[in-house]
Amino acid sequence: MKDIDESKAPLLDHLIELRGRLLKCVWALFLTGAVCFYFSDKIFAFLVHPLKEAFGDGGGRLVYTKLYEAFFVQVKVAIFGAFCLSFPIIANQLWAFVAPGLYAKEKKALLPFLVMTPVLFLMGASLAYFVVMPTAFHFFLQFQGNSGGLAVEALPSTDAYLTLVMQFILAFGISFLMPVLLMLLNRAGFVTRAQLIGLRRYMIVAAFIAAAVLTPPDVVSQLMLAIPLLLLYEITIVAIWFTDRRRAKEIEAIDPSA
Protein backbone atom coordinates (compact mmCIF):
# COMPACT_ATOMS: atom_id res chain seq x y z
CA MET A 1 0.00 0.00 0.00
CA LYS A 2 2.89 2.31 0.77
CA ASP A 3 4.27 1.92 -2.77
CA ILE A 4 0.83 2.61 -4.24
CA ASP A 5 0.34 5.74 -2.14
CA GLU A 6 3.78 7.04 -3.11
CA SER A 7 3.06 6.42 -6.79
CA LYS A 8 -0.16 8.44 -6.56
CA ALA A 9 1.53 11.60 -5.33
CA PRO A 10 3.13 12.72 -8.64
CA LEU A 11 -0.13 12.06 -10.54
CA LEU A 12 -2.02 14.11 -7.96
CA ASP A 13 0.46 16.95 -8.41
CA HIS A 14 -0.05 16.85 -12.17
CA LEU A 15 -3.83 16.90 -11.79
CA ILE A 16 -3.65 19.87 -9.41
CA GLU A 17 -1.40 21.71 -11.86
CA LEU A 18 -3.72 20.85 -14.76
CA ARG A 19 -6.71 22.16 -12.84
CA GLY A 20 -4.90 25.41 -12.08
CA ARG A 21 -3.94 25.93 -15.73
CA LEU A 22 -7.45 25.10 -16.94
CA LEU A 23 -8.85 27.65 -14.49
CA LYS A 24 -6.45 30.28 -15.88
CA CYS A 25 -7.68 29.45 -19.40
CA VAL A 26 -11.31 29.78 -18.29
CA TRP A 27 -10.60 33.11 -16.60
CA ALA A 28 -8.80 34.33 -19.71
CA LEU A 29 -11.83 33.39 -21.84
CA PHE A 30 -14.22 35.01 -19.37
CA LEU A 31 -12.30 38.29 -19.05
CA THR A 32 -11.60 38.66 -22.77
CA GLY A 33 -15.23 37.72 -23.46
CA ALA A 34 -16.45 40.49 -21.15
CA VAL A 35 -14.17 43.02 -22.86
CA CYS A 36 -15.26 41.84 -26.32
CA PHE A 37 -18.93 42.02 -25.32
CA TYR A 38 -18.42 45.63 -24.21
CA PHE A 39 -16.82 46.45 -27.57
CA SER A 40 -19.03 44.06 -29.59
CA ASP A 41 -20.47 46.91 -31.68
CA LYS A 42 -17.01 48.02 -32.79
CA ILE A 43 -15.86 44.45 -33.43
CA PHE A 44 -18.97 43.76 -35.51
CA ALA A 45 -18.41 47.03 -37.39
CA PHE A 46 -14.92 45.75 -38.25
CA LEU A 47 -16.32 42.40 -39.39
CA VAL A 48 -19.06 44.04 -41.48
CA HIS A 49 -16.66 46.41 -43.27
CA PRO A 50 -16.05 44.09 -46.30
CA LEU A 51 -19.82 43.86 -46.88
CA LYS A 52 -20.19 47.63 -46.52
CA GLU A 53 -17.48 48.16 -49.14
CA ALA A 54 -19.15 45.62 -51.45
CA PHE A 55 -22.51 47.40 -51.20
CA GLY A 56 -20.92 50.77 -51.90
CA ASP A 57 -21.71 54.18 -50.46
CA GLY A 58 -25.25 54.54 -49.19
CA GLY A 59 -26.28 51.03 -50.17
CA GLY A 60 -27.07 47.84 -48.34
CA ARG A 61 -28.34 47.02 -44.91
CA LEU A 62 -28.41 44.18 -42.41
CA VAL A 63 -31.68 43.01 -40.88
CA TYR A 64 -32.74 40.67 -38.11
CA THR A 65 -35.93 38.65 -38.27
CA LYS A 66 -36.08 37.50 -34.64
CA LEU A 67 -36.39 39.86 -31.70
CA TYR A 68 -33.50 38.24 -29.82
CA GLU A 69 -31.23 37.83 -32.86
CA ALA A 70 -29.34 41.13 -32.49
CA PHE A 71 -28.50 40.38 -28.85
CA PHE A 72 -27.21 36.88 -29.57
CA VAL A 73 -25.15 38.24 -32.46
CA GLN A 74 -23.34 40.41 -29.90
CA VAL A 75 -22.83 37.33 -27.71
CA LYS A 76 -21.41 35.35 -30.64
CA VAL A 77 -19.10 38.25 -31.52
CA ALA A 78 -17.89 38.33 -27.91
CA ILE A 79 -17.25 34.57 -27.84
CA PHE A 80 -15.46 34.66 -31.19
CA GLY A 81 -13.30 37.59 -30.08
CA ALA A 82 -12.59 35.93 -26.73
CA PHE A 83 -11.22 32.79 -28.39
CA CYS A 84 -9.03 34.88 -30.69
CA LEU A 85 -7.67 37.12 -27.91
CA SER A 86 -7.18 34.38 -25.32
CA PHE A 87 -5.54 31.91 -27.71
CA PRO A 88 -1.97 33.05 -26.84
CA ILE A 89 -2.75 32.64 -23.13
CA ILE A 90 -4.28 29.18 -23.65
CA ALA A 91 -1.34 28.10 -25.83
CA ASN A 92 1.11 29.40 -23.21
CA GLN A 93 -0.65 27.46 -20.44
CA LEU A 94 -0.63 24.30 -22.55
CA TRP A 95 3.07 24.74 -23.29
CA ALA A 96 3.85 25.40 -19.62
CA PHE A 97 2.07 22.16 -18.66
CA VAL A 98 3.73 20.01 -21.34
CA ALA A 99 7.23 21.55 -21.40
CA PRO A 100 8.55 20.10 -18.09
CA GLY A 101 8.07 16.59 -19.49
CA LEU A 102 10.16 17.28 -22.60
CA TYR A 103 13.90 17.08 -23.13
CA ALA A 104 15.74 20.27 -23.98
CA LYS A 105 16.19 19.10 -27.58
CA GLU A 106 12.45 18.38 -27.88
CA LYS A 107 11.58 21.83 -26.50
CA LYS A 108 13.90 23.42 -29.04
CA ALA A 109 12.29 21.43 -31.84
CA LEU A 110 8.68 22.20 -30.86
CA LEU A 111 9.07 25.90 -30.03
CA PRO A 112 9.20 27.10 -33.69
CA PHE A 113 5.94 25.23 -34.40
CA LEU A 114 4.32 26.87 -31.38
CA VAL A 115 5.39 30.30 -32.66
CA MET A 116 4.33 29.65 -36.27
CA THR A 117 0.82 28.42 -35.36
CA PRO A 118 -0.68 31.87 -34.55
CA VAL A 119 1.33 33.47 -37.38
CA LEU A 120 -0.04 31.08 -40.00
CA PHE A 121 -3.58 31.32 -38.57
CA LEU A 122 -3.37 35.12 -38.76
CA MET A 123 -2.11 34.92 -42.35
CA GLY A 124 -5.06 32.72 -43.33
CA ALA A 125 -7.57 34.91 -41.50
CA SER A 126 -6.09 38.05 -43.11
CA LEU A 127 -6.34 36.51 -46.57
CA ALA A 128 -10.00 35.70 -45.87
CA TYR A 129 -10.80 39.19 -44.54
CA PHE A 130 -8.85 41.41 -46.94
CA VAL A 131 -9.04 39.42 -50.19
CA VAL A 132 -11.52 36.55 -50.22
CA MET A 133 -14.52 38.12 -48.48
CA PRO A 134 -14.54 41.37 -50.52
CA THR A 135 -14.20 39.38 -53.75
CA ALA A 136 -16.91 36.89 -52.76
CA PHE A 137 -19.30 39.60 -51.57
CA HIS A 138 -18.91 41.57 -54.81
CA PHE A 139 -19.69 38.36 -56.69
CA PHE A 140 -22.77 37.59 -54.59
CA LEU A 141 -24.17 41.13 -54.86
CA GLN A 142 -23.99 41.08 -58.66
CA PHE A 143 -27.24 39.12 -58.64
CA GLN A 144 -29.19 42.13 -57.38
CA GLY A 145 -31.40 43.89 -59.90
CA ASN A 146 -34.64 42.92 -61.64
CA SER A 147 -35.99 39.46 -62.31
CA GLY A 148 -39.30 38.98 -64.09
CA GLY A 149 -40.24 42.59 -63.43
CA LEU A 150 -39.55 42.30 -59.70
CA ALA A 151 -36.73 43.95 -57.78
CA VAL A 152 -34.17 41.52 -56.37
CA GLU A 153 -32.38 42.96 -53.33
CA ALA A 154 -29.88 41.39 -50.93
CA LEU A 155 -31.11 41.66 -47.34
CA PRO A 156 -28.72 39.50 -45.29
CA SER A 157 -29.54 38.93 -41.64
CA THR A 158 -26.98 39.87 -39.01
CA ASP A 159 -26.74 36.31 -37.68
CA ALA A 160 -26.35 34.75 -41.16
CA TYR A 161 -23.68 37.30 -42.08
CA LEU A 162 -21.72 36.73 -38.85
CA THR A 163 -21.88 32.97 -39.38
CA LEU A 164 -20.55 33.40 -42.93
CA VAL A 165 -17.70 35.66 -41.78
CA MET A 166 -16.72 33.24 -39.00
CA GLN A 167 -16.83 30.38 -41.52
CA PHE A 168 -14.47 32.25 -43.84
CA ILE A 169 -12.01 33.28 -41.11
CA LEU A 170 -11.90 29.90 -39.35
CA ALA A 171 -11.73 27.92 -42.62
CA PHE A 172 -8.77 29.91 -43.94
CA GLY A 173 -7.05 30.26 -40.56
CA ILE A 174 -7.22 26.55 -39.73
CA SER A 175 -6.36 25.47 -43.29
CA PHE A 176 -3.19 27.56 -43.15
CA LEU A 177 -2.00 25.42 -40.22
CA MET A 178 -1.41 22.51 -42.63
CA PRO A 179 2.38 23.18 -42.89
CA VAL A 180 2.70 22.95 -39.09
CA LEU A 181 0.86 19.61 -39.06
CA LEU A 182 2.93 18.16 -41.92
CA MET A 183 6.22 19.36 -40.42
CA LEU A 184 5.31 17.82 -37.06
CA LEU A 185 4.41 14.53 -38.73
CA ASN A 186 7.71 14.60 -40.57
CA ARG A 187 9.58 15.43 -37.38
CA ALA A 188 7.90 12.48 -35.63
CA GLY A 189 8.83 10.15 -38.49
CA PHE A 190 5.30 9.45 -39.72
CA VAL A 191 5.79 10.94 -43.20
CA THR A 192 8.81 11.67 -45.36
CA ARG A 193 9.44 14.21 -48.08
CA ALA A 194 9.35 11.46 -50.70
CA GLN A 195 5.94 10.33 -49.47
CA LEU A 196 4.57 13.87 -49.63
CA ILE A 197 5.83 14.22 -53.19
CA GLY A 198 4.14 10.94 -54.09
CA LEU A 199 0.88 12.15 -52.53
CA ARG A 200 0.90 15.41 -54.49
CA ARG A 201 -1.88 14.45 -56.93
CA TYR A 202 -4.07 13.23 -54.06
CA MET A 203 -3.42 16.51 -52.26
CA ILE A 204 -4.78 18.43 -55.25
CA VAL A 205 -8.06 16.51 -54.99
CA ALA A 206 -8.12 16.85 -51.18
CA ALA A 207 -7.53 20.62 -51.38
CA PHE A 208 -10.51 21.15 -53.68
CA ILE A 209 -12.71 18.86 -51.55
CA ALA A 210 -11.72 20.79 -48.40
CA ALA A 211 -12.39 24.09 -50.16
CA ALA A 212 -15.82 22.85 -51.28
CA VAL A 213 -16.71 21.79 -47.72
CA LEU A 214 -15.26 24.74 -45.78
CA THR A 215 -16.30 27.64 -48.01
CA PRO A 216 -19.64 28.78 -49.47
CA PRO A 217 -20.73 26.96 -52.64
CA ASP A 218 -19.20 29.37 -55.15
CA VAL A 219 -16.22 28.73 -57.39
CA VAL A 220 -14.42 31.97 -56.49
CA SER A 221 -14.18 31.23 -52.74
CA GLN A 222 -13.23 27.62 -53.36
CA LEU A 223 -10.39 28.53 -55.71
CA MET A 224 -9.12 31.16 -53.26
CA LEU A 225 -8.76 28.47 -50.59
CA ALA A 226 -7.64 25.53 -52.73
CA ILE A 227 -4.83 27.38 -54.53
CA PRO A 228 -3.14 28.71 -51.33
CA LEU A 229 -3.43 25.22 -49.80
CA LEU A 230 -1.58 23.72 -52.76
CA LEU A 231 1.08 26.45 -52.56
CA LEU A 232 1.52 25.82 -48.83
CA TYR A 233 1.86 22.10 -49.54
CA GLU A 234 4.69 22.77 -51.99
CA ILE A 235 6.36 25.21 -49.58
CA THR A 236 6.17 22.55 -46.85
CA ILE A 237 7.93 20.02 -49.10
CA VAL A 238 10.73 22.54 -49.70
CA ALA A 239 10.95 23.33 -45.96
CA ILE A 240 11.21 19.63 -45.12
CA TRP A 241 14.07 19.33 -47.65
CA PHE A 242 15.99 22.03 -45.76
CA THR A 243 15.28 20.47 -42.34
CA ASP A 244 16.32 17.02 -43.59
CA ARG A 245 19.63 18.44 -44.86
CA ARG A 246 20.27 20.22 -41.55
CA ARG A 247 19.42 17.09 -39.57
CA ALA A 248 21.78 15.01 -41.74
CA LYS A 249 24.60 17.52 -41.14
CA GLU A 250 23.99 17.41 -37.37
CA ILE A 251 24.12 13.60 -37.38
CA GLU A 252 27.29 13.65 -39.48
CA ALA A 253 28.90 16.15 -37.09
CA ILE A 254 28.11 13.91 -34.10
CA ASP A 255 29.07 10.65 -35.79
CA PRO A 256 31.10 11.04 -39.02
CA SER A 257 30.86 7.29 -39.70
CA ALA A 258 27.00 7.43 -39.78
Cα separations (Å) of 98 from 27, 110, 115, 117?
Answer: 20, 11, 15, 17
pLDDT at residue 24, rounded to an integer: 93
pLDDT at residue 255, rounded to an integer: 64
Residue 152 parent element (H or E)? strand 150-152
pLDDT in tens, the chain (258 residues): 444 444 444 767 778 888 988 999 999 999 999 999 999 999 999 999 999 998 887 677 899 888 999 999 999 999 999 998 998 888 888 888 887 777 777 777 777 888 888 899 999 999 999 999 999 999 888 888 887 778 888 889 999 999 999 999 999 999 999 998 898 888 878 889 999 999 999 999 999 999 998 888 788 888 999 999 999 999 999 988 988 888 777 777 776 665
Cα–Cα distance measured from residue 78 to residue 72, given in angstroms and rounded to the nearest whole number: 10
Longest dimension (CA), the chain: 87
Nearest partner of 60 among 52, 68, 70, 69, judged by Cα: 52
pLDDT at residue 2, rounded to an integer: 43
Own/partner pairs for 112-118, CB < 8 Å, 24+ apart?
Answer: 113/180, 113/183, 113/184, 116/179, 116/180, 117/91, 117/177, 117/180, 118/87, 118/88, 118/91
